[in-house]
Structure 1
Amino acid sequence: MSEAALLFANEAFYAAFARRDLEAMDEVWSRNAAIACIHPGWDLLVGREMVMATWRAILSGPQPPITFDNAQAVIWGETGMVVCHEHVEGQALVASNLFVREGKIWKMVHHQSGPLPVG
């Protein structure tokens, strides 16, 4: 699978986030592999139940719009990584998103986002 397919999976994650679409967000994440997530300012979340519970809370709350840019993809074997910048209410964040190949589809297994270093 190409980097374009990996970037498409990354775009699907941010589209689900921006639309506050829990069903689409659920589809982005792997059901077969172990998953983890670290939201900005949150502790480590491990396991599908815990990760999806936080997305339910985030997507149902008054979260401001999110956009992303500068996405760069790397693939090694059945694993892919996308690093990018996120923008929320004028705040710039840096994110890393890890995916595994499940058949012909890239599925997210890890998302981490945090503030850009000052300077």
Structure 2
Amino acid sequence: MSTTHAEIEKLNEAFYTAIEGGDLDRMTEIWAEDGEGRVAMCVHPGWPMLTGRAEVLRSWALIMANTPYIQFVLTDVRTTVIGDVAVLTCAENILTAADTEDATFAAGRVVATNTFVRTTGGWRLWFHHGSPVLQADGDDDEEESDE
């Protein structure tokens, strides 16, 4: 793995660690500033496109404030670097709880594309797009086959 690939994957891990820890300051450091010809963009699963760094960071603040527990296990990580742009795709295997006191957990899977851009301050996240993966209900298939 090249140094650049490792650097991108480390920054990608920091992105998910910031979400898990509710660390908006770190999230702010990770996202690229809007600039000429470049505007931060984000698509959360089920949300419309968010455009502009301020709007994107507001969305993360809202998510972090309303998510008492979330954990990501990333799989199928693939990184491509072309010049000053890097694209990382991965599967986000998510465990979350709406209320930590009841310990009611939910699991889900999202396929994500994270695009990074090299800036004067180093690599920064430019675009995040998460798309939910529909889960097959294996129990229904088994019940139908038994009938």
TM-score (norm. length: structure 2): 0.74
The structure number with the bigger radius of gyration is 2
Where does residue 5 of structure 2 map in the other structure? 3
RMSD of equivalent CA atoms: 1.7
Where does residue 61 of structure 2 map in the other structure? 56
How many residue pairs get aligned? The number is 119
Are 1:34 and 2:36 matched, yes or no?
no
2:18 alignment partner AA: A
Q: Which has the higher mean CA deviation after the structures are superposed, 84-93 or 17-26?
A: 84-93
Work out which of the residue numbers 111, 114, 117 in structure 1 matches 2:128.
Answer: 111
Gaps of 5+ in 2: 96-106, 137-147
Q: Percent same amino acid among aligned pairs?
A: 29
TM-score (norm. length: structure 1): 0.91
Quote the offset at 1:13 in angstroms.
0.5
Residues of 1 paired with 2:115 and 2:68: CA distance?
A: 23
Where does residue 76 of structure 2 map in the other structure? 70
Residues of 1 paired with 2:69 and 2:109: CA distance?
A: 13
- Say which SS state the counterpart of residue 2 (structure 1) adopts: helix
Structure 1 stretches of 4+ moved >4 Å:
none
Quote the offset at 1:62 in angstroms.
2.3
Gaps of 5+ in 1: none
Residues of 2 paired with 1:59 and 1:50: CA distance?
A: 14
